[in-house]
Amino acid sequence: MLIPISIERNSICTNDIEIRNTTFKDLELKEEHIEEFLRKNIEVIFGEEESLLIVGQQVNNTEKGRSDLTAIDENGNIVLIEIKRDADDIKNRKEPFEFQAIRYAAGYAKIKSPDVLVDKVFSKYIEKHKDEFELGELTPAEKGKRIINDFLIKNNSLKTFNQKQRIIFSLHRLTIRHCQPWPG
Domains contained in the chain, number: 1
- Domain that includes residue 50, residue range: 5-181
Give the whole-angstrom CA distance, residue 99 versus residue 101.
5
Question: 53-112, pLDDT tens digit by residue?
Answer: 999 998 876 666 677 889 999 999 999 888 776 666 666 667 677 777 787 888 888 899
Kindly report the number of other CB atoms within 10 A of residue 61's CB atom: 17
Which of residues 140 and 61 earns the better pLDDT score? 140
Instruction: Answer for the pair 168, 79: CB distance below 8 angstroms, yes or no.
Output: yes
Kindly report the number of other CB atoms within 10 A of residue 139's CB atom: 12
pTM over 0.85: no
Question: 21-45, pLDDT tens digit by residue?
Answer: 666 777 777 778 888 888 888 887 7
Burial class (CB in 10 A: 0-12, 13-18, 19+), 92: exposed
User: According to the model, what pLDDT value does residue 62 have?
Assistant: 64
SS3 readout for the chain: CCCCEEEECCEEEEEEEEEEEECCCCCCCCHHHHHHHHHHCCHHHHCCCCCEEEEEEEEECCCCCEEEEEEEECCCCEEEEEEECCHHHHHCCCCCHHHHHHHHHHHHCCCCCHHHHHHHHHHHHHHHCHHHCCCCCCCHHHHHHHHHHHHHHHCCCCCCCCCCEEEEEEECCEEEEEEEECCC
40 contact partners, CB below 8 Å, separation of at least 6: none
User: According to the model, what pLDDT value does residue 86 have?
Assistant: 65
